[in-house]
Amino acid sequence: MSGPERLALPGEVAERIARARRVVVFSGAGVSRESGLDTFRGAGGLWERMRPEELATPEAFQRDPDRVWRWYAWRFQHVAEAAPNPAHLAFARWQELFPSILVVTQNVDSLHRRAGSRRLVELHGSLATVFCQRCGRRRPMAQAVAASPASAPRCECGGLLRPGVVWFGEALPVAALEEALEEAGRADLFVSAGTSATVYPAAGLIEVAWRAGACVIEVNPEPTPFTRLAALRLAAPAGQAVPELTAAIERCRAQAG
């Protein structure tokens, strides 16, 4: 695929895209990789260089809150310096192409929001906020990092502030998961982009959508456990494939009137 005009949609996929009213985009770390943010799994991923239980569990935070806080403060600064890439921007453009679109992301970097996506479910939380483990009060991560870059800060109530992300061993936010499942079960078009589709229950959204009759499109350089369900698979990085898919969708919907 050397340009937007080069992606030709298979006939049945084109027909289903032309008729689609409800769309769900399911994004993973691969979508943000081209913004300079490491993925968590795969070659060069963050978990290849460190053990998750050392930094991303409630037990790790209880054991050494300052060490965990410093790593997340570094991650937050890294994310703050990143910019949405062509994939994030293209998905935001879909809001003008379909009557209903929900972006469901496993990423905690807020890049979809910064790109302009308005209906967004952040299944694994967000690095943009922190909350108090004692009273639950939330505040901006930027404020907390500025006040205490090297040690875990405390709330006015005395409780420790922690990143607003879902750690290993914690349940996904109930409301976020319920909204994602409901929309996946109603989708005409479901696009899985930049995810290994191995983390549950999030990965189960793909099968929920497929079983409900959605046209499934997969965008990922490597095959996933759900590749077999895809009516169309684009084996390329999201930053390349999603803009080309967007151009093809624009042509398809324009021709359909």
**C-beta neighbour count of 194 within 10 angstroms:** 27
Please state, in angstroms and as integers, the Cα–Cα distance from residue 18 to each residue in 22, 228, 254, following that order: 11, 23, 8
CA neighbor of 209 nearest in space, from 232, 233, 192: 192
**Tokens read off for 61:** 């935070």
124 is catalytic: yes
Place of tokens 């991303």: 56
Q: Which helix (H) or strand (E) segment is 125 a member of?
A: strand 125-132
**Tokens read off for 204:** 């189960």
CA neighbor of 1 nearest in space, from 236, 256, 223, 179: 236
Residue type, 241: A
Of 78, 88, 112, 124, the catalytic one is 124
Phi-psi region of 158 (alpha: psi -120 to 50; beta: other; left: phi over 0): left
- What dihedral angle (degrees, nearest 10) is formed by the CA atoms of 7, 13, 14, 18? -130
Gap between the Cα atoms of 117 and 94, Å rounded: 9
Do residues 233 and 221 make contact, with C-beta atoms less than 8 angstroms apart?
Answer: no
CA 170 to chain centre: 18
Gap between the Cα atoms of 178 and 159, Å rounded: 29
> What residues are labeled active site?
124
